[in-house]
Amino acid sequence: MSALKIKKGTSKHSAYDLRDPNAEVMETHTLAVIVDNEAGVLARVIGLFSGRGYNIESLTVAEVDHEGHRSRITVVTTGTPAVIEQIKAQLGRMIPVYDVHDLTVEGPAVERELALIKVANTGEKRVEALRLADIFRANVVDSTLESFVFEMTGTTDKIDAFAELMRPLGLVEIARTGVAAMSRGTAA
């Protein structure tokens, strides 16, 4: 009989899960935070992350209630389950914060990001860039004889995949908005 060749640290769905059960598992969570729309609130929320050494993967902010002067901060952060719980608890205790939702655990959510991607090329590479943009449903929002600027919305993974395919075709620059997220269904 041959020995089983199972990699240490296989997925949690494997019958041969050999990961250390005591190891700290890093998770990525999307948090939606409703705050007062006033000067200094964003700095205080971000200060909570930086002061404790928590990482922010993505950050978007916009006013969502003009009459109530409230804004929504969407933060994508990474940490152990204990760290994520600590972040949510500390955010919830802040005075200008009205509500904190962990969209990752509260049920299905829709997450999208907008990116502008500049690609400079000529000849066959130019044709290939347009063909890939069509496959990924990216729109051409600016075109010169030497370059394109593509506009693309989608998941972070989709934008990452498109950018990787554009690298050998002359990727020059990327501007990204960060993740905007909302829970699915009728619940707020």
pLDDT tens digits along 32-79 = 999 999 999 999 999 999 888 898 999 999 999 999 999 999 999 999
Mean pLDDT of 106-135: 95
Average pLDDT rounded to a whole number, residues 118-145: 96
Closest C-alpha to 104, from 76, 126, 124: 76
144-188: per-residue pLDDT in tens? 999 999 999 999 999 999 999 999 999 999 999 999 999 998 866
Tell me 105's DSSP state: T
Q: For 68-94, what is the mean pLDDT?
A: 93
Q: What share of the chain is helix, strand, coil (3-state, %, to 5)?
A: 25, 40, 35
Instruction: Kindly report the average pLDDT of the chain as a whole number.
Output: 88
Residue 139's Cβ-side half-sphere holds a number of Cα atoms within 13 Å equal to 7
SS3 66: coil
Residue 2 above 70 pLDDT? Answer: no
CATH 3.30.70.360 is right for the domain spanning 109-183: no
Q: Say which CATH architecture domain 27-102 belongs to.
A: 2-Layer Sandwich (3.30)
**Which tops the pLDDT comparison, 6 or 182?**
182
Nearest to 92 by CA among 37, 60, 45: 45
Least confident of 11-25, 103-117, 118-132: 11-25
Lowest mean pLDDT among 22-26, 101-105, 124-128: 22-26
Q: Helix 124-135 crosses helix 156-166 at what angle (to 10 degrees)?
A: 170
pLDDT at 60: 95
Locate CATH 3.30.70.1150 in the chain.
Answer: 109-183
Average the pLDDT over each of 9-23, 70-84, 102-116 and give the range with the smallest value: 9-23
Mean pLDDT computed over 12-38? 76
Whole-number pLDDT of residue 186: 80
**Which residues belong to CATH 3.30.70.260 in the chain?**
27-102
Closest to 179 in 3D by CA, of 90, 79, 74: 74
Q: pTM for this one?
A: 0.78
